[in-house]
Amino acid sequence: MSGESVYQREVYGKTLVELGRENKNIVVLDADLSGSTRTALFAREFPERFFNFGVAEQNMMAAAAGLASCGKIVFASTFAMFATGRAWDQVRNCICYSNMDVKIVATHAGITVGPDGATHQALEDIALMRVIPNMRVFVPADGPQTRDAVMAALHLPGPVYIRLGRDKVPSHAHPAAFVPGVAETMADGTDIAVFACGIMVRHALEARQTLLQEGIQCAVINIHTIKPIDQAAIILAVQRVKGVVICEEHSVIGGLGGAVEEVLAGCGYPVKIARIGVHSRFGQSGSPADLLKEYRLAPADIAVEARQLLTS
Partner 1 sequence: MQINELETKARQVRRLIVQMLEKAGSGHPGGSLSSADIMSVLFFHVLRHDARRPRDPNRDRFHLSKGHCCPVWYAVLSECGYFPQEELWNLRRLGAMLQGHPDTHVPGVDVASGSLGQGLSVALGMSLAAKIDARTYRVYCLLGDGEIQEGNVWEAAMAAAHYRCDNLCAVLDYNGFQIDGRVEEVMNIEPIADKWRAFGWHTVVVDGHSIQQLVDAFAKVKGVGGKPSMIIAKTVKGKAVSFMEHVVDFHGRVPTKEEAARALQELSDER
Active-site residue list: 57
Our finding on whether 266 is near partner 1 (CB under 8 A) is: no
Question: Which residues is 138 bridged to in the sheet?
Answer: 162, 225
91 and 259 in contact (C-beta within 8 Å)?
no
Q: Please name which of 268, 292, 267 lies closest in space to residue 278, comparing C-alpha atoms.
A: 292
Q: Is 192 helix (H, G, I), strand (E, B) or coil?
A: strand
Q: Please name which of 204, 214, 196, 191 lies closest in space to residue 299, comparing C-alpha atoms.
A: 204
Our finding on whether 217 is near partner 1 (CB under 8 A) is: no
Q: Contact region for partner 1 (CB under 8 A) — 63-71, 159-167, 216-224, 239-247?
A: 63-71
Q: Contact region for partner 1 (CB under 8 A) — 43-51, 143-151, 213-221, 289-297?
A: 43-51
Our finding on whether 202 is near partner 1 (CB under 8 A) is: no
Question: Which residues is 227 bridged to in the sheet?
Answer: 137
User: Which residue among 11, 43, 63, 302 contacts partner 1 (CB under 8 A)?
Assistant: 63
Radius of gyration, CA atoms only, the chain: 19
Q: Are strands 160-163 and 192-196 parallel, antiparallel or unpaired?
A: unpaired
Site string for partner 1, 73-102 (x = CB under 8 A): ----------------xx-xxx--xxxx--
Site string for partner 1, 125-144 (x = CB under 8 A): --------------------
How many CA atoms are closer than 13 Å to the CA of 248, on its beta-carbon side? 34
185 and 172 in contact (C-beta within 8 Å)?
no
User: Minimum distance between the CB of residue 283 and partner 1, rounded to whole angstroms?
Assistant: 26
Our finding on whether 56 is near partner 1 (CB under 8 A) is: yes
124 DSSP 8-state letter: S
User: Minimum distance between the CB of residue 147 and partner 1, rounded to whole angstroms?
Assistant: 25
d(CA 256, CA 8): 20
Q: Contact region for partner 1 (CB under 8 A) — 9-17, 70-78, 155-163, 191-199?
A: 70-78
User: Which residue among 1, 2, 21, 54 contacts partner 1 (CB under 8 A)?
Assistant: 54
What are the backbone dihedrals phi and psi of residue 27, each rounded to the nearest 5 degrees, phi first? -125, 140
Q: Which is nearer to partner 1, 100 or 263 (CB)?
A: 100
Contacts to partner 1 by CB under 8 A: 27, 48-49, 51, 53-54, 56, 58-72, 89-90, 92-94, 97-100
